[in-house]
Each structure stands twice: as C-alpha cells, then as structure tokens.
Amino acid sequence: MSNIKTSKGKLTFNKTDYVLQNFTNDSGESVSYVLVSDSQVHIGTDKGIILFDLSCTINKETFTDINLFTAALY
Amino acid sequence: MANKKISQLTAKGTALAATDLVEISESDGAGGYVTKSVTGANIKSGLQATLVSGTNIKTVNSTTLLGSGDLAVQATLVSATNIKTINSNTILGSGDLVIAGGMKVPAVSNTIGTTITGLTNAISDSFLLPANTFSSNCQIELQWYPSRIVGTTGTTQGLVYINSTNSLTGATLVATGINLTNSGVSNITCRRTIQVRSNVGTLMSTINQASSDFSVTQPTENLPFDNSVGIYFLFVMNNTTNVLLQSRNVGYRLVGYNL
C-alpha cells in the first residue's frame, strides 16, 4: 500500500514532492480538489492534477471514506 | 664463347634450372664492375612467387583478382553526384547523422478496451511510451476514442492520465473528454496536442471537458512529461449518475515530433 506523506501545504508520494495548488474546475471555480468517485479524488498540485484513491494511506493511516481521506490531505 | 655475340650462343631451350650459372657484372661501388656468376636458384630467390588466388594474393568477395580485364568496383562516392543528400547535407563521413525532425508514431491501436461498468473511474486501456521515444522538447498529438455502450441516463467521459506505472493511483490527469450523454451506443473522437519544453508539457486545461483542443480554453502549463523514462498512458472511463452505465475506450493514436 502506497503512503502519502503530508507536510505544510505539500505532500510526498513515490519520492515525488507535490505542492498543493488550486485549479479551475469545469464550472470556472477555483478549487483545491474534486471528488471523482466514492474512492477517488483529483488533487491540484504544482505538477498537475493528481488522482489519489483509498488504496493509499496518509501518514500511514488508512481511510475508507473519500471525504475524510481528502480532509487529511489538507 | 670468346668473340661471340650472345645471340650466337646455343639456346638452352628450357626453363632456368637451380644449378645453371649466369654471368653477371657486379658493381664494386666505385664505378667499376667485377665479373661473377650467380645460380639459377640465386635468381629465382629474388623473384616474386607465382600468384595463386586466395593463397598469396587476396580475393575480393571471394572473386579472384587474377586475370585480364577490369574488376567492377563501385565508383568513389561523391556527395550529390552519385549519392544523394538529405536536406542538402552530405551523408558521407563518420559519426551519427542526427535527424531532428520527422514524425514518430509510437502507439496506434484499435483494441476494444475493458468495459467499465457502474459508477466508477477505471482504466479501460493503456500503453507504455518507452523511455527516450521523444526528446525533452517535442510536440505530441494524442487521439483516443471513448465509447458509451449501455445506459439510458447518466454521463460518461473518456479521460487520459499518465503515470510511471500502469496504475491510476498517483496518476496525472492529461485530458478530460467531453460528456457522452446519448442513450445507447455513442462514440467520440477526442484529441489533445501537448507542447513539451524541457520535459514540461503545455496543453489545454486537463480538467475541462472537451472533445478536442481546437476551441479556445485556458491552458495547463505544468504537466510533467519526462521522456527519459517510460510513461504509461492510461485511458480511463468515468461513469456518473447511473450504476447501469457501461463504457470503454476503443482505440488510440499517439504521434509526435522531436523539436
């Protein structure tokens, strides 16, 4: 299981650092993330929009709810 | 033999024997000569041996060099005279000839991808763009063909992600195809152009739904695209609002140019 490590506005995944950034969604709104499904979320970063899902842990913690998972990223 | 011309001597009539003697005048190094004899063996030892093809004279592509007439060989290559040039540049000489331009087609498929059923966002098809297929500065054109095959309500989209593995987790969104809302079977051709400069891609907004990038949209300018490593292209179907929806990707094409 892959782990996401969070730290002050950024996260590290697979040895790559991502700075969290807002992006403009399809409705023209500036958002930091968009839920894709019950288990997936699009996260805005300096390296594009990244898909994360519940198969990942966040700081070694496991999640079963995508809303709680997303909240833990920020 | 005194007072006889050499033409008056009795002819030997056979080949020189090793024991025959021949009279010679040897230079004394001071302008004079000393009369001496040499044997037939002495004379033959200074001559080149009879040439035997493949023994003491090489062949050319197994063809003997002995005999009369010309040996057909290719004329010396002269650029633009008997060998063509490429864009007015000679191809003669050593080293590598770097072709900067030229289209590459590393991926074309008409494969019907895995059918994705229900409310999910999952990989229908994928391919690996091998490392170093393109340089750090290139232009890539991607087409893919999402297909909605079952469902009377709801929408489905064909999305494209890239990743270092054949997995959606941690993948980077490249494109979001337009919503397919027609009931029953419907297909769409989607297209994106990616301008890659120093391993970073610029393209239309990856999150905005669109079939192509011919219309005016805001850009995405931070897509990591490092061609020095392999890049998986993931063709993903995203079904929404109807658990009965089924969709799949039914082909793709990627072409590019090194710049």
Say how far apart CA B117 and CA B239 lie, in whole Å: 8
How confident is the model over B165-191, as a mean pLDDT? 93
Measure CB to CB from residue B205 to each of A24, A52, A56 and give the nearest one.
Answer: A24
Q: pTM for this structure?
A: 0.72
pLDDT value of position A40: 95
Give the model's confidence band at B242: pLDDT under 50 very low, under 70 low, under 90 confident, else very high: confident
Sequential DSSP letters for B105-132: EEEEE----PPEESS-EEEEEEEEE-TT
Interface probe for A, chosen from B166, B173, B241 (most Cβ of A below 10 Å), is B173
ipTM of model: 0.95
Contact criterion met (CB below 8 Å) for A62 and A56: no
Whether residue B173 and residue A26 make contact (CB cut-off 8 A), yes or no, is: no
Nearest CA-CA partner of B220 in A15, A53, A23, A55: A23
* Mean per-residue pLDDT over chain B, rounded: 91
Whether residue B120 and residue A53 make contact (CB cut-off 8 A), yes or no, is: no
pLDDT surpassing 60 at residue B207: yes
Q: CA A36 → CA A41, A49, B159, B190, B212, distances in Å?
A: 5, 12, 11, 20, 21
pLDDT surpassing 60 at residue B134: yes
- Domains in chain B (CATH in brackets) are 19-49 (no CATH), 103-258 (2.60.120)
How confident is the model over B42-65, as a mean pLDDT? 89
Nearest residue in A to B241, CA atom? A37
Give the model's confidence band at A71: pLDDT under 50 very low, under 70 low, under 90 confident, else very high: very high
pLDDT surpassing 90 at residue B37: yes
